[in-house]
Structure 1
Amino acid sequence: MIAETPKNKPRFRLHPVALLNSDRLRRSLVETYERKGNFKYFIGVVLLILSIASLFYTNDLVDKLEEREEREVRLYGEGLRYIVNSPDDENFTVIMGVIQDAVTFYQIPVIYVDENNFPIHRNINFPKNASLRDKERIIEAQLVKMKSEHIPVPVQIGEGKTGYIYYSNSFLLTQLRYYPFVQLTVMLLIGYLAYLAFSAARKAEQNRVWVGLAKETAHQLGTPLSSLMAWVEYFRSDPNIDSSIADEIEKDVVRLEMITTRFSNIGSVPTLKQESVSTIVTSFITYLQKRVSSKVHFFIHDQLSEGQTALLNKNLFEWVVENICKNAVDAMSGIGEIHVTLQAPPNSKQILIDIQDTGKGMTKANANKIFNPGFSTKKRGWGLGLTLAKRIIEDYHGGKLFVKSSEVGKGTTFRILIPAKIAEEVIPED
């Protein structure tokens, strides 16, 4: 229920959206992204099962085809033995044609070496216009390869003489042998593309959630802000009210207006200006220190050189620092130290900002999920603060925001990386 205000005094009413149950929203976001994460793993498992099944099936086909090719080569050898050991006046043209066609049909490279070690080849491909010497070298190389692949098939040609048939796998068998690996690569590629598509869809939905929530929040803050400004003027006009009270309220109203501007900037391209990183961080930490628990002590370790700047949107960048610091204060239960270190490593084009607390720390599993929308270790809140902070740094400022280190019971360190600029690089405006 909203209390009535005296006549002619400003008043405002909270829009129903402002009464949104943040815990319900946070749970909804977490459930949404957990479901999508489970779906991603399901796709990965299905692709893995299909790949393994395909590997086993194809290997079975390869083994069967290899056995069949070996039988064809042995049949070819039996045909040679039968012809050599049969009477000279018998006609074997048809039989030998059938046997040779079987080897040719499967495109099995075959080299028969007689008792004098003279090679006779079948299905050996030679380059066009190859000389006799070139063909001999190719046959020698093929023999070396065939000896390493299969045990030669002996052919008894009578009177204790033996010839040998050397052979290689057919081109079809070779293709099938490598096919599972090609198929697995294709499966992995499909899985990777599916992951990219899923990530893009998730990011697009995430952007819609952020932008919609931010715009609606900025819109809802507009009405009470206007009313609060009217209240400030009312207090100042009343001689019975200490004017310093109105001044302090005005400071917080200005702060709320800045927060409204931040939310309005989400979803649109912010304006970046060359700013002194040390100045922004130091002045904001000074402001923040007066508005958190007196038992939280801030320490700034500024190691940046004079004139070190970066392209920043001041309001949004301060928001990032505020979100991280307030999370640190919550993690310390309002008692502890926060160390903010600013540095630019030699020969580096980046500025490093480490924000370290002495709080309860977090597990590795939570550290991996800390930037997910809706994730929070607190019972209250939307779980969007660090998510928005990461978006601001990475999407708007071209930097990085991540958990540098965290140890349960000892604290957490967040690291911000932003591209550095030098003051002399500033281009004067017309």
Structure 2
Amino acid sequence: MLKSFDIYNQNNILKIILALNLLLVGTGSLLYTNRLILKLEAREEQYVQLYVKAVEYLYSSSRPDADSGDLTFVTSEILQANKTIPVIYVDHNNQVLAKLNIDGLTKGLTQAEEHALLRNKMIEMGKNHPPIPVVMNDGKHGKVYYSNSDVLRQITYLPYALLAILTALGVLAYLSFSSSRRAEQNRVWVGLAKETAHQLGTPMSSLMAWVEYMRSDPDQYDGSITDEIEKDVQRLETITARFSSIGSVPTLKEENLNEVVKQFTDYLARRISTKVKMSLASQLPSDQMVKINKLLFEWVIENICKNAVDAMKGVGELRLNIVPLSQQQVAIDITDTGKGISKANMQKVFSPGFSTKKRGWGLGLTLAKRIVEEYHSGRLYVKSSEVGKGTTFRIILNAD
């Protein structure tokens, strides 16, 4: 059992380590990718600047070396070498003189459609990068609009894709750890159930033999004592049946809720401290039926009541009140006058292994919550608690 709880703590540590690693990898990757993007943007801007210089040379009306074929060839090669960066060159009248790598330009477009497309592209480009001025020898100014290449745009989305992948890995890892923990909890509960059922078998047989022996000589033994011993034996049988049912789907039957709770509280009242005043009140009709598994439901009441007695250190009041919430639901409030539950522990009381007592496995309330919520489709929670004054647990069951 203790090993199981060590596994839970180890899982928590592994979750923290995994989260830190994912955070470090994600942060490092995002920083590196961002740095790479900035370098590529700077490089593409340099290419565009070179493109602008070539445009200034070719389109200048009064360049001194206009007949220089070699230089013109080199400049043309520079212009044509741009295969990836979308650019649009406009003159001083804002008329398009050259364009390269523009998405959407097809042979089927009319002149008006092409003009509208280029204008929209220029507006879009201007939002991302300021246009670079082109200065001619005659003093007139043109502009070169440009945007990032397809490769750079794809790299820009890389951090988001990487973040999504890391998030997905983190979620999968968390679900894996959580599933592992739930499986381990189930193994703990099933193992505890089987072991307890096994250990109770021998003393139960022995007690049954003693009951028959004392009944055979009624003059020597008080009959009321044997009746109580028989109740304990029956209780052991009940406990065995309870533990044996863990791990399988229990059978729910229509039971009179008032009678079930009263029978158990009468039994429990004679076996707890005489300094604990135990009372039961019900506002339900005497024939109110609720679909429950009696053996398991009594276990819920027992766990809560025993925790309450421990919280009161054997001195105080323990009150059970059964009330209708609606035509579909009924509630059982179990109130003690014990030490109460602090706000820090309010969410932990149902966690496996949590206990404020020096002894115990810390499984009582965990099992109780599981029985109510998973087997009976109800609810079990702390309705109210005040440190030094007491606690009220509420069980809600479906009445239909």
> Under TM normalisation by the shorter chain, which class is it?
0.7 to 0.9
Residues 298 and 244 (structure 1 numbering): CA distance in 2 closer, same or farther, change over 3 Å?
closer
Q: Which residue of 1 aligns with 2:29?
A: 54
User: Post-superposition shift, 1:306?
Assistant: 7.8
User: Quick one: which amino acid aligns to residue 252 of structure 1?
Assistant: D
User: Quick one: which amino acid aligns to residue 233 of structure 1?
Assistant: E
Structure 2 residue 226 is matched with structure 1 residue 240: no
Residues 78 and 127 (structure 1 numbering): CA distance in 2 closer, same or farther, change over 3 Å?
closer
Q: Which residue of 1 aligns with 2:244?
A: 264
Native 8 Å contact 2:51 2:78 kept in 1? no
> Which of 292, 308, 317 lines up with 2:297 in the alignment?
317
User: Quick one: which amino acid aligns to residue 143 of structure 1?
Assistant: M
Deviates further, 75-84 or 166-175 = 166-175
Aligned equivalents of 1:350, 1:47: Cα separation in 2: 46
Secondary structure at the aligned position of 2:221 is classed as coil
Native 8 Å contact 1:282 1:300 kept in 2? yes
Aligned equivalents of 2:354, 2:194: Cα separation in 1: 21
Residues 182 and 250 (structure 1 numbering): CA distance in 2 closer, same or farther, change over 3 Å?
same
User: Post-superposition shift, 1:58?
Assistant: 1.1
Native 8 Å contact 2:190 2:246 kept in 1? yes
Identity of matched residues, % = 52
User: Quick one: which amino acid aligns to residue 291 of structure 1?
Assistant: R
User: Quick one: which amino acid aligns to residue 289 of structure 1?
Assistant: A
> Which of 343, 355, 358 lines up with 1:379 in the alignment?
358
Native 8 Å contact 1:30 1:375 kept in 2? no
Deviations along 1:133-161, one digit per CA (max 9) or x if unpaired, are 33333222222222221121111022221
Native 8 Å contact 1:28 1:374 kept in 2? no
User: Post-superposition shift, 1:282?
Assistant: 4.4
Aligned equivalents of 2:113, 2:324: Cα separation in 1: 65
Residues 31 and 405 (structure 1 numbering): CA distance in 2 closer, same or farther, change over 3 Å?
farther
Q: Which residue of 1 aligns with 2:308?
A: 328
Deviations along 1:147-186, one digit per CA (max 9) or x if unpaired, are 2211211110222211111222223222222322221121
Q: Which residue of 1 aligns with 2:89?
A: 112
Structure 2 residue 20 is matched with structure 1 residue 45: yes
TM-score, normalised to structure 2's length? 0.88
TM-score, normalised to structure 1's length? 0.82
Aligned equivalents of 1:411, 1:179: Cα separation in 2: 57
Q: Which residue of 1 aligns with 2:113?
A: 134
Aligned equivalents of 1:204, 1:60: Cα separation in 2: 44
Residues 377 and 95 (structure 1 numbering): CA distance in 2 closer, same or farther, change over 3 Å?
same
Q: Which residue of 2 aligns with 1:21?
A: none
Structure 2 residue 47 is matched with structure 1 residue 75: no
Q: Which residue of 2 aligns with 1:206?
A: 185
User: Post-superposition shift, 1:29?
Assistant: 4.0
Q: Which residue of 2 aligns with 1:254?
A: 234
Aligned equivalents of 1:88, 1:160: Cα separation in 2: 17
**What does 1:184-199 align with in structure 2 at a 5 Å threshold?**
184-199=163-178
Deviates further, 303-312 or 219-228 = 303-312
Residues 54 and 90 (structure 1 numbering): CA distance in 2 closer, same or farther, change over 3 Å?
same
**What does 1:11-410 align with in structure 2 at a 5 Å threshold?**
25=1, 27-85=2-60, 86=63, 87-91=65-69, 92-102=72-82, 104=83, 107-119=84-96, 120-126=98-104, 129-238=108-217, 239-298=219-278, 300=280, 302=282, 309-342=289-322, 345=325, 351-410=330-389
User: Post-superposition shift, 1:412?
Assistant: 3.4
User: Post-superposition shift, 1:353?
Assistant: 4.2
Deviates further, 329-338 or 57-66 = 329-338
User: Post-superposition shift, 1:298?
Assistant: 4.4
Residues 214 and 166 (structure 1 numbering): CA distance in 2 closer, same or farther, change over 3 Å?
same
Secondary structure at the aligned position of 2:88 is classed as strand
* Structure 1 vs Structure 2 CA RMSD: 2.6
User: Post-superposition shift, 1:299?
Assistant: 5.3
Deviates further, 149-158 or 168-177 = 168-177
Native 8 Å contact 2:193 2:246 kept in 1? yes
| Uncovered stretches (5+) of structure 2, i.e. residues with no partner | none
Native 8 Å contact 2:4 2:184 kept in 1? no
User: Post-superposition shift, 1:387?
Assistant: 2.2
Aligned equivalents of 1:415, 1:43: Cα separation in 2: 38
Deviates further, 137-146 or 37-46 = 137-146
| Uncovered stretches (5+) of structure 1, i.e. residues with no partner | 1-24, 423-430
Residues 41 and 403 (structure 1 numbering): CA distance in 2 closer, same or farther, change over 3 Å?
farther
